[in-house]
Chain A
Amino acid sequence: MSRITVGDRRIATHGEVVAETLNADPEFRAEWERLAPARKLAVELIRYRAQNELSQTALANQLGVSQPRVAKLESGEHNPDFDTIAHVVGVTGIEFCFDFVPAGRESKLITKRAREQGTAGTRYKGVSVIAAAT
């Protein structure tokens, strides 16, 4: 049973709900954080489709893959491999940054703006992963 309340309006932001859910279950947290890069790629592909008014099939044609492959990438439930990321970037022009940093250390390689916009996956195999895109 959730105890989330915000004043007497009884609402919670998405961030609060995610935090509560992750805090309640370490296994869930591990899976959520592991898939942070997948979610970032998914969002950027959907954004690209929206900006260019493309269907999944049209994007699949651009990428030279099947529509189910685009659907899988947009699901955010499967981490992309580097070949896939490179191919997506080459075709769409989306710029991605995946920064792997030892846990607890601040990244020296990417900007503060990228960190703020990024999706951090702390404790993923003992490192912090920041996925950012522009």
Chain B
Amino acid sequence: MPARRSWLVEYLAEAVVELHTTAHKEQLGVLSAVDKLVALGPSLRPPHMKSLKGQPNLMELRPRQGSSPVRPIYARFDDAFKILVIATKNDFDDALKTARKRAAQYDIPLDRS
């Protein structure tokens, strides 16, 4: 059976707003990182992503091999992925809380994959 060629990746509207407030260089890095998620889905490996310790079903993308300060936080939901927050390293703890809050608002369960 041929390998799947693409996965559905969606952004919450708040995440799109956050993306567009970052510098162009970072937007390029984020969109490129999400492109990899679209192409590879759960096969995407570190250093391009990281599962967040102690945060069930929450993962981060690491644009530009982690050299970008921007960290999109995402979750797998059924057969798709949802970008919940476009975080930065500096506000990461707050962003995690925001991610969990938004997941609840959008009925995205984080306790299963």
Contact surface of A with B, Cβ cutoff 8 Å? 1-2, 4-5, 9-14, 17-18, 20-21, 24-25, 27-28, 31-32, 35, 39, 42-43, 46-47, 49-51, 56, 71, 74-77, 117
Contact surface of B with A, Cβ cutoff 8 Å? 3, 5, 8-13, 16-17, 19-20, 24, 27-29, 31-32, 34-40, 43-45, 47-48, 64-65, 82, 106
Given the interface pairs A21-B20, A43-B35, the reply to whether A11 lies near B12 with Cβ below 8 Å is: yes
Given the interface pairs A46-B45, A76-B32, A77-B32, the reply to whether A4 lies near B13 with Cβ below 8 Å is: yes
Asked if B43 and A50 sit within 8 Å, CB to CB, the answer is yes
Asked if B10 and A76 sit within 8 Å, CB to CB, the answer is no
Asked if B48 and A1 sit within 8 Å, CB to CB, the answer is no
Main secondary structure of the interface of B (DSSP, over half): helix
- CB-nearest residue of chain B relative to A76? B32
Given A11-B13, A27-B24, 18 extra CB contacts under 8 A: A2-B19, A4-B13, A5-B13, A10-B13, A12-B11, A12-B13, A13-B10, A14-B37, A24-B20, A43-B40, A46-B48, A47-B39, A47-B43, A50-B45, A56-B47, A71-B65, A75-B65, A76-B32
B19, B28, B34, B64: most-surrounded residue (chain A CB, <10 A) = B28
Jot down 11 A-B pairs with beta carbons below 8 A, ordered by A: A11-B13, A14-B31, A17-B34, A21-B19, A28-B24, A35-B28, A39-B32, A71-B65, A74-B48, A75-B65, A117-B5
Main secondary structure of the interface of A (DSSP, over half): helix
Q: Give the chain A neighbours of B37 by CB distance below 8 A.
A: 14
- CB-nearest residue of chain B relative to A50? B43
